[in-house]
């Protein structure tokens, strides 16, 4: 799924998603242009980030629902906000089970 596209700083694909930190096969997501097609976005050069399949899907779904100039970068910011709210949210209740 990932491409040989390199980030502008010359680094190749990292091991973890640059949004959620999941260890996964990654895909390039270009932030400079608003490419809705995922396959085309993966090979678009320019400033961008490496994301897992789940984050890529969520970002492109958000971009499709909020079209317009800057939607790629806005999708990145929305994902960061969602992850922040999730991390800072209420802890899940855990109960010890007797076996």
Q: Residue 5, Cα to own-chain centre: how many angstroms?
A: 16
The predicted pLDDT at position 59 comes to 94
> Is the pTM value of this prediction over 0.85?
no
Mean pLDDT for back-to-back runs of 10 residues, the chain (99 residues): 45 83 91 92 92 94 93 93 85 77
The predicted pLDDT at position 6 comes to 52
Task: Work out whether the CA dihedral 69, 76, 32, 65 comes out positive or negative.
Answer: negative
The predicted pLDDT at position 98 comes to 76
Q: 80 and 55 in contact (C-beta within 8 Å)?
A: no
Domain ranges of the chain: 1-85
The predicted pLDDT at position 7 comes to 46
């Amino acid at each position: 799924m990932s491409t040989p596209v390199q980030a502008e700083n010359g680094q190749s694909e990292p091991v973890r998603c640059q949004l959620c930190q999941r260890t996964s096969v990654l895909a390039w997501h270009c932030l400079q242009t608003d490419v809705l097609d995922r396959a085309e976005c993966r090979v678009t050069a320019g400033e961008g980030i490496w994301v897992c399949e789940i984050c890529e899907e969520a970002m492109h779904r958000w971009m499709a629902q909020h079209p317009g100039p800057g939607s790629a970068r806005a999708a990145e910011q929305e994902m960061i906000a969602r992850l922040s709210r999730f991390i800072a949210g209420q802890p899940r209740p855990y109960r010890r089970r007797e076996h």
